[in-house]
Structure 1
């Protein structure tokens, strides 16, 4: 059974001094539990699209796998909300770097850099990519225009894996981490090199989001929202360029600004 991305529900809306009944489109919230080698590993709450990418991206970000070939078998039962993963090698899921935990769709502390595993799997960027200021703005505008689910529901995060000039793939999810995991899973499944790529993101750049970008391996993160102080500290340490508040024709660069070129600089080069 394929789950719907959204559902139409009757609501009562207040507008212009009046209450009136109408239909509204509500985004679907879907739990999926991952079992690895017969043992429960984690439950995520997500938007039920691109579930294979989500599972693979999540396992890669947790350091369980490095490549698609590490998986002997992957079966997803959408009707029951389970993903069954068989790895080619045995792992001890009760090791210190793993912790079985419920991962919600909200913006709480569901995944943090404080886990030993996050320190182990985060990568220092070695990218040589430089992006023009107007390309930052164009990528953000394009990603936002592409998200029909956000336009219809207002209840999801958007993320895109990009070159400076265009979007390679974009994904949507109620969970900001999930949207990034889907990008990671897509790049693993399609063997897309990510070192020179850019992530464009609709939400706040928290330490968890910055860590997720570091695990994926990109060196530039663009957002329409703000970063946190810890995210900026991590970005400085991991050599990642962070750009926030991309709105209209302006934005702020918070770390490693050498990868952002202005229109004047581009014309001089």
Structure 2
């Protein structure tokens, strides 16, 4: 099912930020909110898989999405339980069939993602046979989403030091997840989709971070045909997107964007005369992200 009401960040949750005192450039004492980081250990049945640093919200979605995007939960796996223990900061995902990933875990490597991000040496293996659905993406939807996402309540606006990933359908925001690492944010979206049986074929994934190989792989593993960002690309991310036929759109700022893969899905229906451009201040900020 597709959610009817958007699931949005709640920057007022007290456990997500901490008030810290300091001094500004003039020496004046200030107090600001900073994002919390917490370790979360993920188990698949009796096998410990990874410990990730996360802000601590939606741990069940994060665990499910991480395992799904790493290929450890297959399409035919039956999830019988997801148990979160806040005291020991652990999530155990249980399946009807036991699995052993010791050999795969030996191959894990650090990725370019912020905080703790791991993919495995044979991460491309899970993309074999992946066929992304034919879909259309209207530029009017992209411009509307960019404006809407930039004005939604978020931890980024409250404390910064955070990445966001947004699941969209046409020009509607469905799920908005944030975390210290962009990989965690997209895994939470993947976990939500898996838990609630949300179809992927007509969705758009928007990320505030760079369009890296990891982001492209995760999007493809989720079955989503379009990945967009206001940030830029990596060459390997573009190469994988082109190989898979995933529509990859970056540098979305004001009237501007660049599509480096999957151009055939784009329908340019927006009248740019009615799309506000981004001022110079925001352009400089975007260039630094």
Quickly name the TM-score band, shorter chain normalised: 0.7 to 0.9
Is the Cα–Cα contact under 8 Å of residues 242 and 261 in structure 2 kept in the other structure?
yes
Q: Which residue of 1 aligns with 2:23?
A: 12
- Using a 3 Å threshold, how does the CA distance of structure 1 residues 170 and 140 change in structure 2: closer, same or farther? same
SS in 2 for 1:236: helix
Corresponding residue to 1:42 among 46, 50, 71: 50
2:194 is equivalent to residue 188 of structure 1 = yes
In the TM superposition, what whole-angstrom CA distance separates every residue of 1:31-82 from its partner, at most 9, and x where no partner exists?
1011232232111111111111111111111222235962222211122211
In the TM superposition, what whole-angstrom CA distance separates every residue of 1:110-164 from its partner, at most 9, and x where no partner exists?
435x621442246644322212213112212222322421101111111111111
Is the Cα–Cα contact under 8 Å of residues 41 and 100 in structure 1 kept in the other structure?
no
Mapped to 1, the partners of 2:15 and 2:164 lie a distance apart of: 18
- Using a 3 Å threshold, how does the CA distance of structure 1 residues 122 and 173 change in structure 2: closer, same or farther? farther
Corresponding residue to 1:139 among 145, 154, 157: 145
SS in 2 for 1:218: coil
Q: Which residue of 2 aligns with 1:120?
A: 126
2:66 is equivalent to residue 55 of structure 1 = no
Mapped to 2, the partners of 1:139 and 1:65 lie a distance apart of: 31
Q: CA deviation at 1:107?
A: 2.9
Q: TM-score, normalised to structure 1's length?
A: 0.87
Corresponding residue to 1:107 among 114, 137, 145: 114
In the TM superposition, what whole-angstrom CA distance separates every residue of 1:147-197 from its partner, at most 9, and x where no partner exists?
421101111111111111211111111110011011111111111110221
Aligned ranges for residues 249-268 of structure 1 at < 5 Å? 249-263=255-269
Is the Cα–Cα contact under 8 Å of residues 103 and 111 in structure 1 kept in the other structure?
yes
Mapped to 2, the partners of 1:116 and 1:204 lie a distance apart of: 22
Structure 2 gaps of 5+ residues are 1-12, 272-289
SS in 2 for 1:19: coil
**How many residue pairs align between the two structures?**
259
Which piece of structure 1 moves more, 78-87 or 45-54? 78-87
Q: Which residue of 2 aligns with 1:228?
A: 234
2:70 is equivalent to residue 65 of structure 1 = no
In the TM superposition, what whole-angstrom CA distance separates every residue of 1:195-235 from its partner, at most 9, and x where no partner exists?
22110111100111111111111111110000111111100
Q: CA deviation at 1:30?
A: 1.1
Q: Which residue of 2 aligns with 1:154?
A: 160
Mapped to 1, the partners of 2:148 and 2:129 lie a distance apart of: 28
Q: Which residue of 1 aligns with 2:245?
A: 239
SS in 2 for 1:180: helix
RMSD: 2.5
Mapped to 1, the partners of 2:111 and 2:83 lie a distance apart of: 22
2:174 is equivalent to residue 163 of structure 1 = no
